[in-house]
Amino acid sequence: MSRSSLYDAEDLADYIARNYSGRVVEVGVGHMADVAVALMARGLDVLLTDREERLAGGLRVVADDIFSPRQELYSGARLLYSIRPPLELQLAMGRLAARTGADVLVRPLADEVAQLPGFARRLVNFGQARFFLFSNSQFH
């Protein structure tokens, strides 16, 4: 196991890898790509997006605005996830996921968690990781 600056990155990656395959997208990656690195090590196809293109943790971040997303970037993604996103970002992720059929995973900073129309929300405790999973009920 690699050492991570995000204490629950390995547990988050384990949960995602056990429940999703193929492409997953981290939205608003910021400068911490710990979960993405761990997911790639587990064989998932991970796309990182944020407002500007750059490297994060040695990984390429694709520039995209989640409030006006380039749909083709998210095509085929089974999960959109974000670490400590503000409410407005969570809502934008929900709108995009509703169109693409993806689930949404939010690892909040505190208790700032949105209600996403059309999604069933549940709190998941997995190892050290605590996060909210929004299942796209239209596709499950």
DSSP assigned state of 43: T
Rama region for 57: left / alpha / beta (φ>0; ψ in -120 to 50; rest): left
| Residue 44 pLDDT | 96
| Cα gap 108→85, rounded to integer Å | 6
Residue 107: per-residue pLDDT:
93
Scan for tokens 């995973």, then name that residue. Answer: 105
Q: Are strands 103-107 and 129-136 parallel, antiparallel or unpaired?
A: antiparallel
Q: What is the pLDDT of residues 56-106, one digit of tens each?
A: 988 999 999 999 999 999 999 999 999 999 999 999 999 999 999 999 999
Binned at pLDDT 50, 70 and 90, residue 3 comes out as: very low
Q: Give the 3-state secondary structure of residue 51.
A: coil
pLDDT digits (tens, 9 = 90+) for 111-125: 778 889 889 999 999
Mean pLDDT in the chain?
91
Is a pLDDT exceeding 80 seen at residue 139?
no
CATH code at 9-136: 3.40.50.150
